[in-house]
Amino acid sequence: MKLVFATNNRHKLDEVRAIVGDRVEVLSLNDIECHDEIPETADTLQGNALIKARYIYDKYGLDCFADDTGLEVEALGGEPGVYSARYAGEECCSEANMQKLLHNLTGKSNRNAQFRTVIALIINGEEKLFNGIVKGSITEEKRGDSGFGYDPIFIPEGFSESFAQMSSEQKNSISHRYRATEQLSNYLKEKYKG
Ligand code: IMP
């Protein structure tokens, strides 16, 4: 079967293709010649994932899925959450986002946080949601320089290194995205077994 993944992010496509295997051909937005800027105007991760998946399904009539990810910090009431990419402003970079987060946590002893990925899948008009969570804590300062986004300031539970101090293989084997994608993959395997 073919499924459109509403992204052109090479890294995400590779990761998802590796997990779902040969059973499903995963197409990107470029593959279906969709060059639209799909709006992400919801105030929840689930809402944004659904907006993107519904956009593709409604416009092209193709079975598809979309994801959205955020870092949810307990002492900040779940912030930056759905606003993770633009926490320090629309045109901002990861560095500014991390500095703002560390600043907002100054003096707070509760450093608990979690990364959460929501995947919205639409097959024949039927919608399904998958949640992948990795719990952890926010460091006092940046550690390591691999990865992207908030990786240098997030230590997953059960580890002493930040995501940015891990190899990409190690991070990808425990990440929020991996966990959500694994659920998607298990669902597809069950649905299309035989
Ligand atoms: P997206 O929905 O995958 O584009 O993620 C939104 C934002 O969350 C990104 O711009 C990053 O700031 C952050 N983010 C998502 N996944 C990760 C990750 O694996 N490590 C660090 N930051 C991430």
Residue range 155-187, pLDDT digits in tens: 999 999 999 999 988 998 999 999 999 999 999
- pLDDT given for residue 55 in this prediction: 98
- For ligand 1, pick from 150, 165, 166 the residue to mutate: most ligand atoms within 8 Å of CB: 150
- pLDDT given for residue 192 in this prediction: 78
pLDDT of 21 > 90? The answer is no
Query: CA–CA separation, 163 vs 18, rounded Å?
Result: 20
pLDDT of 145 > 90? The answer is yes
CA 192 to ligand 1 center in whole angstroms: 30
CA 172 to ligand 1 center in whole angstroms: 13
Strand partners, 154: 138
CA 117 to ligand 1 center in whole angstroms: 9
Residue list, ligand 1 pocket, CB within 6 Å? 68-71, 84-85, 94, 147-151, 163, 175
Token look-up 């993107």 returns: 52
pLDDT of 30 > 80? The answer is yes
- For residue 194, name the pLDDT band (cuts at 50, 70, 90): low
Q: Of all protein residues, whose CA lies closest to atom 9 belonging to ligand 1?
A: 85
Residue type, 24: V
Q: What's the rounded mean pLDDT across residues 80-99?
A: 94
Q: Is the peptide bond before 80 cis (omega within 30 degrees of 0)?
A: yes
Tell me the helix, strand and coil percentages in the chain, rounded to 5. Answer: 40, 25, 40
pLDDT of 136 > 80? The answer is yes
- Between CA 171 and CA 182, with CA 177 as vertex, the angle to 5 degrees is 105
| Catalytic annotation, pick one of 63, 68, 145, 151 | 68
CA 82 to ligand 1 center in whole angstroms: 10
- pLDDT given for residue 124 in this prediction: 96
- For residue 141, name the pLDDT band (cuts at 50, 70, 90): very high
CA distances from 58 to 12, 50, 55, 109, 143 (A): 23, 12, 5, 46, 43
User: What is the residue-averaged pLDDT of the chain?
Assistant: 95
- For residue 33, name the pLDDT band (cuts at 50, 70, 90): very high
14 catalytic, yes or no?
A: no
Q: What is the pTM of this model?
A: 0.95
Question: Which percentage of the chain shows pLDDT scores above 70?
Answer: 99
